[in-house]
A and B are shown apart, each in its own frame.
Chain A
Amino acid sequence: DQQVKQNSPSLSVQEGRISILNCDYTNSMFDYFLWYKKYPAEGPTFLISISSIKDKNEDGRFTVFLNKSAKHLSLHIVPSQPGDSAVYFCAAPGGAGNMLTFGGGTRLMVKP
C-alpha cells in the first residue's frame, strides 16, 4: 500500500513561473513531512520540511503547504529556475527508527 503518493510523474514549467508539486498521504499518524530534491546519480538532498502543527513553512523560494484534513501537501517554488530541474520526493518519517516513506517522485523541468 502506497502511504505517500505523488500523482504527477513530471511537470514542466517556464523559468520565472511558479512550480507546484503535490503529494497525498493516507496514514493519519504521519505528523511530519519532508521534501527532498534529487539530481541524477546523486542521493536525495533535504529541501524543506513541515510539522503537522503548522499549515505552512517557507524558506526562500520554497514554501510547503499542509492540509491535514485533505491529507495533502504541496511544494511551491517561486520563481522557478533552470537549476531547480530535478526529481522531487515528499517523504514522511514513522515506524521503526523513524524510517522515511517516500512518494514516487515528480520530475520537474524548468525551461529557460
Chain B
Amino acid sequence: DTGVSQDPRHKITKRGQNVTFRCDPISEHNRLYWYRQTLGQGPEFLTYFQNEAQLEKSRLLSDRFSAERPKGSFSTLEIQRTEQGDSAMYLCASSFLQANYGYTFGSGTRLTVV
C-alpha cells in the first residue's frame, strides 16, 4: 500500500463548472477526512466518513459541495458551480479507528477557478 492517493493533482476550471476529486485511502483505514487549505492558512476540516457513512460536515461545506464514499473505499468530493473562492488545496486524510491520531494525508488536489 503506497499511502493515500489523490487525483487529479491539479485542476484548472472555469467559474461555474463542476469538478470532482477522488481520494483513495490506505486500504485498512476506516476513517476518511477531507480538508481544504487556502494560501497562508492551515488545513480546515470539511467532512469525514467512517466506512461509508458521512458522519460530520463543517459549515464550510456549502450546498454546492457533496462528498461520497461508496462501499467505504475511495471517496469523491464534488463542487458544483465553482466560484473563485473555491480555489484552494483539497486534502484527503485517512486513519484507522482503533489507532487514534494515526492520520495519513494525501498530496492534495490544487484547484484553481478562473
Determine whether the beta carbon of A43 is less than 8 Å from that of B101: no
Determine whether the beta carbon of B107 is less than 8 Å from that of A41: yes
Instruction: Please classify how large the interface on chain B is, using the bins under 10, 10 to 19, 20 to 34, 35 or more.
Output: 20 to 34
Determine whether the beta carbon of A44 is less than 8 Å from that of B56: no
**Which one of A54-62, A71-79, A95-103 is at the B interface?**
A95-103
Determine whether the beta carbon of A104 is less than 8 Å from that of B108: no
A65 at the interface (CB under 8 A from B): no
What residues on B are CB-neighbors of A100 within 8 Å? 33, 35, 43, 45, 93, 103
Residue of B nearest to A49 (CB): B101
B100 at the interface (CB under 8 A from A): yes
> A40: shortest Cβ distance to chain B, in Å?
10
Within 8 A of A (CB), among B35-54: 35, 40-45, 48, 50
A42 at the interface (CB under 8 A from B): yes
What residues on A are CB-neighbors of B100 within 8 Å? 32, 93, 98
Chain A, 25-68, contact with B by CB distance < 8 Å: what is the 0/1 string? 00000001010100001111110010000000000000000000
A104→B42 CA distance, assembly (Å): 4
Which residue of A9, A32, A41, A49 is within 8 Å of B110 (Cβ)?
A: A41
* Secondary structure type dominating chain B contacts: strand
A85→B77 CA distance, assembly (Å): 31
Within 8 A of A (CB), among B61-92: 91
Determine whether the beta carbon of B101 is less than 8 Å from that of A44: no
> B68: shortest Cβ distance to chain A, in Å?
16
Which residue of A36, A42, A101 is within 8 Å of B45 (Cβ)?
A: A101
Sampled A-B contacts (27; CB under 8 Å): A32-B100, A32-B101, A34-B101, A36-B105, A43-B6, A43-B108, A45-B105, A46-B104, A91-B42, A93-B101, A96-B48, A96-B55, A97-B50, A97-B55, A97-B56, A98-B101, A99-B48, A100-B93, A100-B103, A101-B45, A102-B42, A102-B43, A103-B42, A104-B40, A104-B42, A105-B41, A105-B42
